[in-house]
Amino acid sequence: MVGLFPALLVLAAGAIPELDQARQLFAKTDFQAAVKLIEGMPQKTGAAYELMGRSHYLMGDYKKATQAFEKALVDDRSNAAYHHWLGR
């Protein structure tokens, strides 16, 4: 049980290493790599779908961007940023 405690703290804090890595790739404008990393995540949050959507948007793939933003809204309908990006 002691060995699981640090992992539970990470999950409780909402830290997702893959998402953090994808954010770093996005910041370096490596949008394709960010999308690939997010696609490989076993469970995706609204934040992951938003980052995927922004990446697709900036690569000019508006259809995939829209799909990602719609999935983000399934996770959190009240998130203004998700609505903003979907409306672009």
Residues 6 or more apart in contact with residue 11 via CB below 8 angstroms: none
- 68-79, pLDDT tens digit by residue? 999 999 988 988
Helix intervals (H) in 14-76: 17-27, 31-39, 46-58, 62-75
> Which residue would you say has higher pLDDT here, 57 or 8?
57
- 33-66, pLDDT tens digit by residue? 999 999 999 999 999 999 999 999 999 999 999 9
Domains of the chain in sequence order: 16-86 (1.25.40.10)
pTM across the whole model: 0.80
- 18-32, pLDDT tens digit by residue? 999 999 999 999 999
Phi/psi region, residue 45 (left: phi>0; alpha: psi -120 to 50; beta: rest), is beta
For residue 4, pLDDT over 90 is answered with no
